[in-house]
A and B are shown apart, each in its own frame.
Chain A
Amino acid sequence: MDAIFESLPQYWDGFLRTLFLAVVSGVIALLLGTLLAAMRVSPVAALRGFSTFYVEVARNTPLTIIFFFSAIVLPRLGVKFEQFEVAAIIALSSYTAAFVAEAVRSGVNSVPVGQAEAARSIGMTFAQVLGFIVLPQALRTVVPPLINIMIALVKNSSVAGAFFVLELFGYGLQLSNSRGDAVMWILIGVAFFYLLITVPLGLLAHFVERKVAIAR
Chain B
Amino acid sequence: MTTQVSGEALVSLNGVNKHYGQLHVLKDINLQVNKGEVVVVIGPSGSGKSTLCRAINRLETIDVGDISIDGKKLPEEGKDLARLRADVGMVFQSFNLFAHKTILQNVTLGPMKVKGMDKGTAEKEAMALLERVGVGHQAPKLPAQLSGGQQQRVAIARALAMKPKVMLFDEPTSALDPEMINEVLDVMIQLAKEGMTMIVVTHEMGFARKAADRVLFMADGQIVEDATPEEFFTNPQSDRAKDFLSKILTQ
Task: Enumerate chain A interface residues (CB-CB to B < 8 A).
Answer: 43, 112, 114-115, 117-126, 128, 132-133, 136-137, 140, 214-216
Q: A115-B98, A117-B59 are in contact. List 4 more A-B contacts (CB 8 A).
A: A115-B96, A118-B158, A123-B84, A125-B82
Complex: how many Å from CA A215 to CA B79? Answer: 32
Contact flag A118-B57 (CB < 8 Å), given A123-B110, A215-B142: no
Complex: how many Å from CA A114 to CA B115? Answer: 22
What count of chain B residues pass the 8 Å CB interface test? Answer: 33
Complex: how many Å from CA A125 to CA B84? Answer: 11
User: Would you mind naming 19 contact pairs between A and B with Cβ atoms under 8 Å apart?
Assistant: A115-B96, A117-B59, A117-B92, A118-B92, A118-B155, A120-B59, A122-B109, A122-B110, A123-B84, A123-B110, A123-B114, A124-B82, A124-B113, A128-B113, A132-B109, A133-B98, A140-B100, A216-B99, A216-B144
- CB within 8 Å of A: which B54-90 residues: 57, 59, 77, 79, 82-90
Task: Enumerate chain B interface residues (CB-CB to A < 8 A).
Answer: 57, 59, 77, 79, 82-90, 92, 94, 96-100, 109-110, 113-115, 142, 144-145, 155, 158-159, 161-162
Please, which residues of chain A bring their CB within 8 A of the CB of B82? 120, 123-125
Complex: how many Å from CA A114 to CA B32? Answer: 27
Please, which residues of chain B bring their CB within 8 A of the CB of A128? 113-114
Contact flag A114-B113 (CB < 8 Å), given A122-B86, A122-B162, A123-B85: no
Contact flag A215-B99 (CB < 8 Å), given A125-B79, A132-B109: yes
A212 closest partner in B (C-beta): B100
Please, which residues of chain A bring their CB within 8 A of the CB of B98? 115, 118-119, 133
